[in-house]
Structure 1
Amino acid sequence: MPENTTQCAAEVTSYYRHLGENRYESTIHAQGAWNTHEQHMAPVTGIMVHALEQFEPRADMRLARLSFDILGLIPAGAFTIDTTLLRPGKTIELLQAELVAEGRVAVRVTAWRLQTNDTSAVEAYEDEPMDSLESSVPWDGLSSWPGGFIKSVQGRSHPDHRPGRGRAWLHSPYTMLDGGEHSSALVRLLGLADSANGVSARMAPVPGGFMFPNVDLSIHIYREPVGEWLGLDTHVTIAGDGIGLTSSVLNDINGPFARTEQILTIRPIPHRP
């Protein structure tokens, strides 16, 4: 079992250690829910967004769409993130980052980076904002899930929260990287976004039931977010042929800023003696 799964959580204040250049190591707080020896996709999203932000940054551009493909179990422990420019341009760029662990690519993301302009004169939003963080109540709905990442998250919800359709706020007291390395609000909040698939799950992960991992995560970011609390306004759809979809509008303390989609593979939880 990787060393990070045996760490005392109280001694660890970040999801990842930066080992230099493009090398990182996950901590106990990044541990996944389905297996003890894997990473949860939520902090993986955060660290990969951080790598994209650090790659040849331009003050007049920002990330606008992220499309993650999860190519298998994401091993805990040491890994690299290899970032490249697929499509250069003056106003539009396409980036790619790959998380490589144990000799294979575990997660690949492509990202459109677009030029910013002053469009405040025509600024408009149609997604409904969530009720305020102050009007929510403490919520431990993620506690039915195991793993270090789930234990690292604090939650609040609104009264209409239910399986399949919910509104919840999430926050983590931990930094994305150790040593005081700065992370943006986008990194902090998107490092929680994959939790949507568990926040309003229609089924609990119990023996004899169904598992429903997502194989991708698509995020469209129409506004730069702020703060440290992520609001998830989530719908979960399950078809009758083993495929489902988790859809969310992401909120910060000022309102909606992005949309996410996660396609699900739904199958019986395997029996483990």
Structure 2
Amino acid sequence: MVDLITLTALEASSYYNHLGGDRYESTVHAQGAWNPHEQHMAPVAGLMVQALEQFQHRDDMRLARINFDILGLIPAGEFSLKTTLLRPGKTIELLQTELLAQGRPAVRATAWRLQKNDTTAIEFYEDEPLGSLEDSVPWDGMGRWPGGFIQTLEGRSLPEHRAGHGRAWLHSPYTMLDGGEHASALVRLIGLVDSANGVAARMEPEPGGWMYPNVDLSIHLYRDPVGEWLGLATHVTIGSDGIGLTSSVLHDVNGPFGRSEQILTVRPIPHAQ
């Protein structure tokens, strides 16, 4: 990990540098937890959502479901994003964006974009609200994980937080792209969601233990989020045959706004060669 961290990289205030057009470069702040030469899926998701959000933008529609398939290790360094419209429509559209690195697609995301209508007369939420940000306390539990991305996070936990049953708030002061401007609340908060798998980890990521990376990230949004803090009410389930699931209700400072699911491949951490 040390050989990837230069003084210039450490001074960066963003997860990515925009190289022009559809080309980008990750900074050390986007570095993953499982391998030093890969990107963490959390900022990747945020950047891909920004591409989806801006593609042929329509004020009368918004993103409602985003499904990311992680096709392999996401290499650090230069990459491109290719965004297309798979299914056009007046009220329903299906978009796709791919992260292309080292000659292959590393992540593919599809997103339903739906027409907005005034439903305030029947608005209702069944998901239980997370404890407020004001009721939380400083928490450094994410510090158990290595990698540049985790080091960018500020965490706060609630009294009922425990392994397998996460109740935490996360925030990052870093911008998604260089230039100093913060992205939309949707991009900022989706850029933290993949952290859920580490917030409520049941096992420590240590030699001789278990690894449990997710191979997908599926997000459903029943309202547009606001603010800069992401609240995670997370449950982690591990089956008997090497497959697990991290499930979260997503919150902003106003309450729940959606859900996320991450399917896990659970296996022993390989011994160092």
- TM-score higher than 0.5: yes
1:257 and 1:28 mapped to 2: Cα distance?
30
Going from structure 1 to structure 2, the CA distance change for 1:209 and 1:4 (only over 3 Å counts) comes to closer
Amino acid in the other structure paired with 2:113: R
Task: Tell me which residue corresponds to 1:231.
Answer: 231
C-alpha RMSD of the superposition: 1.4
Task: Tell me which residue corresponds to 1:14.
Answer: 14
2:207 and 2:7 mapped to 1: Cα distance?
28
In the TM superposition, 1:113-124 aligns within 5 A as: 113-124=113-124
Q: Does 1:265 align with 2:265?
A: yes
TM-superposed deviation, 1:4:
5.6
TM-superposed deviation, 1:178:
0.7
TM-superposed deviation, 1:160:
1.0
Task: Tell me which residue corresponds to 1:158.
Answer: 158
Do the aligned partners of 2:133 and 2:253 also contact (CA within 8 Å) in 1? yes
TM-superposed deviation, 1:183:
1.0
TM-superposed deviation, 1:11:
1.1
Do the aligned partners of 1:234 and 1:249 also contact (CA within 8 Å) in 2? yes
- Give the secondary structure class of the aligned counterpart of 1:270: coil
2:181 and 2:162 mapped to 1: Cα distance?
37
Do the aligned partners of 2:93 and 2:114 also contact (CA within 8 Å) in 1? yes
TM-superposed deviation, 1:196:
0.3
Task: Tell me which residue corresponds to 1:177.
Answer: 177
Identity value in percent: 75
- Give the secondary structure class of the aligned counterpart of 2:191: helix
Task: Tell me which residue corresponds to 2:57.
Answer: 57
Task: Tell me which residue corresponds to 2:34.
Answer: 34
1:91 and 1:16 mapped to 2: Cα distance?
33
Task: Tell me which residue corresponds to 2:199.
Answer: 199
1:14 and 1:224 mapped to 2: Cα distance?
23
1:62 and 1:3 mapped to 2: Cα distance?
41
Amino acid in the other structure paired with 1:120: T
Amino acid in the other structure paired with 1:23: R
Do the aligned partners of 2:13 and 2:180 also contact (CA within 8 Å) in 1? no
Equivalent residue pairs, number:
273
Amino acid in the other structure paired with 2:91: T
- Give the secondary structure class of the aligned counterpart of 1:47: helix
Task: Tell me which residue corresponds to 2:68.
Answer: 68
Runs of 5+ unmatched residues, structure 1: none
Do the aligned partners of 1:47 and 1:191 also contact (CA within 8 Å) in 2? yes
Amino acid in the other structure paired with 1:165: H
Q: Deviations over 1:82-114 (max 9, x none)?
A: 000000000000000000000000000000000
Regions of 4+ moved over 4 Å: 1-4, 7-10
TM-score (norm 2): 0.98
1:103 and 1:2 mapped to 2: Cα distance?
26
TM-superposed deviation, 1:180:
2.9
Going from structure 1 to structure 2, the CA distance change for 1:217 and 1:4 (only over 3 Å counts) comes to same
Q: Deviations over 1:25-60 (max 9, x none)?
A: 000100000111000000000000000011000000
Task: Tell me which residue corresponds to 1:125.
Answer: 125
TM-superposed deviation, 1:182:
4.4
